[in-house]
Chain A
Amino acid sequence: MGDIVGAFICSISNRDWETALTIGIYGNKIGMVRQGSYQEFDRKTKYSIIRDLVGMKAGDVVFFHVLGRDKPSSVHGVYSTRGEPFYNEAIIWSDKFELFPYRFLFSPHPKYRYLCDYDASIEVTDFYELIEGRRIWSLATLENEVNIEARSVRKIGQGEANEIIRLLHRDYRQRRRSARVGFNLVQLPISATPLHSQIGDIGRYENSIKALLMYKLAQRDPYLVGVFGDITDFMNEVFIAQTTRKSIDILCISEVEGKSAYTICEVKTGKCDTKSLSQVLYYVDLFKQKDLVDINSDIVVGCLIGRTFDEHVVEYSIERNRQGVNGPLILLRYQPSVNGRDATFSQVAGRGGVDEGT
């Protein structure tokens, strides 16, 4: 199996899009203006930004959700990433406070250079029609809502990316610039540090361990591949029920003898209790009812990831796996290492029973 090609949608303001597009660099912010003064995000939020970006690799597909101030938002594409995401504070954009230091480089996707040359886009309302029609199934919206964590970078599935590419081609005649974009791509600055080196506090914040998992999945970590199978795609914060805004922490997709296997991961910082198990079991049942799942052939696996597990959770999971009904349940224990910058994993329960871990 070759490298996984991931796909992302990144939000950016109309003001910053022109610079980003021309030089091929995207940055996510580190804080926000509140009541007239600029405040950096807390650690939990910073790790959520890293979590969303760190699963990115060179050659991944990227679309940009350009937020218009006086005009409707639009989705632009198709671009591909040039290298892995990084952290850098060099001034690129002319914001009074914000450096947008969580970054990645991109360029026109080699297959769709013609679309990028004229900044092809679709209206965001057309994108939402894909959500309504369940052709986009991992997202509920691109807007920031009061009860949902604000995010600027969202990973989507390969099939979903193809749907957006289809619309970009459909509307290309109407939704393109008249003048060619003058690309002048910048290179990776010497002072840039890999984004994964910013992951810390593992064992303290849920977003830290999620960020590490996203990074390791992108790197095809051999242990995780052993647990989740030969992964063909993976995403985080996937909406399982759009109306109730319930989301899966991490979804791994693999192919087993022509069937799709979906592993639904629920991540806890500390102990996984019966409430956590109940949650992942519910998500498995909900996911099986999605249009994309063939309940007669596809496999849906539940996975609970935490530092420790309630005894009752372990007993029930082992017996449930022994019975082999309704798909396996994986309990994956993590142990922080390298001063909270890394972690080792071991299976407490799983398809093949228990193992010694990494």
Chain B
Amino acid sequence: MVEKISTGNPYNSICRDPYLLSILRKEINGDLVITEKDDVQKFVVLSKGFLDLEGQPKSSGYCLVQCIDGVCNIHSVEEFRRKLEEITKKHANGNYMDVDPVLVAKAFSQDALAFIDSYNSLQKRKPVRLYTFG
């Protein structure tokens, strides 16, 4: 459920180059452009794009990545869900299938893991992908 990535500062890495870490890959996520970021809460919204049959750039959805320097607990999950709701309303007219949520943290508490596991199996939405770093 949780993958490990080797970086000391995932937020800076993603802001510098979204493909730098193994979280986002060009061949899967398409052309990524940062549309929104918050250096305090350390979240970034990336627009996924592709070229249509006429060669025009088109959006295929969004990625929301939040990086937590410490342990991600149930309250961090709550805040992340609040942000996910806000971004989904703002960019995707409430369609959760249009937003890929990603949480990166030093570690995850057991209750946070249990809730996300339930969320991913119960909600017909893009699952929350989890990564640890450091």
Contact = CB atoms under 8 A, between A and B. Distances in A.
Shortest beta-carbon contacts, A-B, top 4: A295-B94, A323-B78, A325-B81, A282-B124
A294 to B, nearest CB: 10
Interface bin, chain A: 10 to 19
19 contacts: A277-B122, A278-B123, A281-B122, A282-B123, A285-B94, A285-B95, A285-B125, A288-B94, A289-B94, A293-B94, A295-B89, A295-B94, A296-B89, A316-B122, A323-B77, A323-B78, A324-B78, A325-B81, A326-B81
B65 to A, nearest CB: 18
Nearest to B82: A325
B124 A285 contact: yes
B122 A325 contact: no
Contacts of B122: 274, 277-278, 281, 316
Nearest to A295: B94
A40 B94 CA distance: 46
B72 to A, nearest CB: 14
Contacts of A295: 89, 93-94
Select the residue from A281, A312, A324, A325 with max chain B CB neighbours within 10 A: A325
B62 interface: no
Q: Is the interface of A mostly helix, strand, loop or mixed?
A: helix
B109 interface: no
Nearest to B80: A325
Given A323-B78, A326-B85, A285 B123 contact: yes
B82 to A, nearest CB: 5
A288 B88 CA distance: 11
Given A325-B81, A325-B82, A278 B124 contact: yes
Contacts of B22: none
Contact of B121 (A274, A293, A325): A274
A42 interface: no
Interface of B: 74, 77-78, 81-82, 85, 89, 93-96, 115, 118, 121-125
Contacts of A325: 78, 81-82, 85
Given A274-B121, A296-B89, 6 more contacts: A285-B94, A285-B123, A285-B125, A295-B94, A319-B115, A325-B78
A36 B78 CA distance: 62
Nearest to A282: B124
Interface string A270-311: 000010011001100100110001011000000000000000
A181 to B, nearest CB: 47
A323 B89 CA distance: 18
A349 to B, nearest CB: 14
A312 B118 contact: yes
Nearest to A278: B122
Given A295-B94, A316-B118, A281 B123 contact: yes
Contacts of B124: 278, 281-282, 285
A301 to B, nearest CB: 15
A312 B115 CA distance: 11
Contacts of A274: 121-122
Nearest to A277: B122
A295 B96 CA distance: 12
Contact of B96 (A285, A296, A319): A285
Select the residue from A277, A281, A312, A326 with max chain B CB neighbours within 10 A: A326
Contacts of B89: 295-296
Select the residue from B78, B82, B115, B122 with max chain A CB neighbours within 10 A: B122
Select the residue from B74, B77, B82, B124 with max chain A CB neighbours within 10 A: B124
A323 B123 contact: no
Select the residue from A282, A293, A295, A324 with max chain B CB neighbours within 10 A: A295
Select the residue from A274, A288, A312, A324 with max chain B CB neighbours within 10 A: A288
A324 B118 CA distance: 16
Interface in A251-283: 274, 277-278, 281-282
Nearest to A284: B123
Contacts of A293: 94
A317 to B, nearest CB: 10
Contacts of A319: 74, 115
A324 B115 CA distance: 14
Nearest to A279: B124
